[in-house]
Amino acid sequence: MITIQHVSKYYDDHPALQDLSWHVKAGEWWGIIGPNGSGKSTLLQLLSGVEAPTSGRVELEGRNIRTFGRKELARKIAVLQQEGLPQTNFTVREVLEMGRYPFQNWRGREQRDPGPFLDSIMDKLELRELQHRPVDLLSGGQRQRAALGKVMAQEPSLLLLDEPTTYLDIRYQLQFMNMVASWRKETGITVISVLHDLNLASQFCDKLLLLHENQSAGEGSPAQMLTEENLRDIFRVDTSIVPHPCNGLPQVLLVRQ
């Protein structure tokens, strides 16, 4: 699906990412974890094509990502940031319609009517009753659902999430991640998420890429990456790792100093 070959990114003389090689297969859900300043957001910008690597190569489906045109790339990749939508007077439905941009001609029209498709998205995300409400009147959880609806309308094969649950309370964090998981199960979309919450990463991601000091510190399953030794060495915290009582996946308990 997407391959990184010996990629480095420098801003002036400052290394943001160094000599990273990584491969993501179609349909996988990867989490990118690591301390602040370890290169997570930089990596996402390189994967989205927003930034070009200083050296190395990023390939999407075997092709250099820098060779894709804007609309062509938007039909492949969608990005959802921490604050999925800015304050705006556009309604929820209008925001979802913006997600159809990659499929519109120069007159802003499509060959097929996207209305029924957008209706189905709103039903899945419980947005139908909010469709005529301006985004700036929504709660944080509702706004992030509308943002997810916009990228779903884009019909990408790769979804990039940059700390999507940061400003959500625990209920809406779980709701959002479950909605992404349902979308993935239904369509087979590939998901790459930058996540600070290690327990959410463990519960939802198939594999984790661990970054430290702008380099890869390892990759593997949550059980392989979320170890007390790794968290002590990289995050500089003492933890106790226990299996989740429902599914056995590792859960991180912080140890008070």
Alpha helix positions (H), the chain: 40-48, 70-74, 92-98, 115-124, 140-153, 170-187, 198-204, 222-225, 228-230
State the average pLDDT over residues 100-128.
Answer: 84
- Token readout for 247 is 């599914």
Fill in the amino acid letter for 48. S
Tell me what pLDDT residue 84 has. 64
Q: Last residue of a domain, which of 129, 155, 181? A: 155
State the average pLDDT over residues 68-95.
Answer: 86
Q: What are phi and psi of 241, to 5 degrees?
A: -100, 125
232 is a domain residue = no
The domain that holds 189 is classified in CATH as 3.40.50.300
What range does the domain containing 96 cover? 77-155
pLDDT tens sequence across 211-228: 999 999 999 999 999 999
pLDDT tens sequence across 227-248: 999 999 999 999 999 999 999 9
Tell me what pLDDT residue 168 has. 84
Is residue 76 pLDDT above 70, yes or no? yes
Tell me what pLDDT residue 180 has. 92
Q: CA torsion 108→47→206→212, rounded to 10°?
A: -150
Structural domain count of the chain: 2
235 is a domain residue = no
pLDDT tens sequence across 145-182: 899 999 999 999 999 999 888 888 888 899 889 999 99
Q: Is 89 helix (H, G, I), strand (E, B) or coil?
A: coil
Task: Tell me the β-bridge partners of 251.
Answer: 242
Q: Using CB atoms within 10 A of its CB, is residue 95 exposed (0-12), middle (13-18) or buried (19+)?
A: buried
pLDDT tens sequence across 122-153: 999 989 999 999 988 988 888 888 999 999 99
